[in-house]
Amino acid sequence: MTDYQSKQYKKVYDIFISKWYDIGLKIGLTPAGENILRTSVFKSLSPYIKKSDRILDLCCGTGTLTILLTRLLYKDCKIIGVDLSSGQIAKAQKKNRYPNLTFAIMDANDLKFSKDYFDHAVISAALHEMDKTQRLNVLSEIHRVIKKEGIFLIFEHHEPSKILLRILYNFYLGFIENITSHSSEMQRSILKELKKTNFRILKQTPIKNFLSFFQIILSKK
């Protein structure tokens, strides 16, 4: 994604998408479905979390997942959610009632944190919106800012292997995403890209109680 594209992307989120983002997810996923997906992220990450860990939620949007992690993890963990869109961050900050949670406007390609600053990192439903060059940049930045042995969790689209589920996926999600984003390319390439940026892949798991339309990938620095 070029600098011009990033600015256009930010503008669209600031002016329009941030205003409808939360309600759009509830309509598209249903409140129960959204809870299943976000809780799946927590359950996958929580076994690796220790007291006082620093956790980065990258491309955090309006902060719903960030707040869930803050609420359910240790109270002395420090959680930081970042997003390029000031509109999204403004929405997130209005929800924040936690002293150990901070939101900041920041470009995932140029994180303003020192090397090894975080113990772990999460990125949720954002990599599919990036082209290969930007994904590699972002993955490299995440690798830089988390500590050795730190866990990196990716929550993303997943096209199921079973024929009927694949048809449903492409009717519900895949068709439009393949037109408007880089979803298929991301799914084909993400494991190779993780290895290229020096992550060790631990596990790739489709979320079966949401028809395997989404997946969680766990890797380690």
Average per-residue pLDDT in the chain? 91
Which phi-psi region, left, alpha or beta, contains residue 63 (left: φ > 0; alpha: ψ -120 to 50)? left
As a whole number, mean pLDDT of residues 177-181 equals 90
pLDDT in tens, 3-57: 544 555 565 555 555 566 657 677 778 888 899 999 999 999 999 999 999 999 9
pLDDT at res. 28 = 79
As a whole number, mean pLDDT of residues 77-103 equals 96
pLDDT at res. 192 = 98
Question: What is the CB-side half-sphere exposure of residue 59 using CA atoms within 13 A?
Answer: 23
pLDDT in tens, 118-137: 999 999 999 999 999 999 99
Cβ(102)–Cβ(79) below 8 Å: yes
pLDDT at res. 11 = 56
Cβ(126)–Cβ(120) below 8 Å: no
* Strands 214-220 vs 200-206: parallel, antiparallel or unpaired: antiparallel
pLDDT at res. 4 = 41
Domains and CATH numbers, the chain: 3-220 (3.40.50.150)
Residue-wise DSSP of the chain: --HHHHHHHHHHIIIIIHHHHHHHHHHHH-HHHHHHHHHHHHHHHGGG--TT-EEEEET-TTSHHHHHHHHHS-TT-EEEEEES-HHHHHHHHHH---TTEEEEE--TTS--S-TT-EEEEEEES-GGGS-HHHHHHHHHHHHHHEEEEEEEEEEEE---SSHHHHHHHIIIIIHHHHHHS-HHHHHHHHHHHHHHTTPEEEEEEE-GGGTT-EEEEEEE-
pLDDT in tens, 196-207: 999 999 999 999
pLDDT at res. 2 = 44
Question: Percent of the chain, pLDDT > 70?
Answer: 90
As a whole number, mean pLDDT of residues 61-75 equals 96
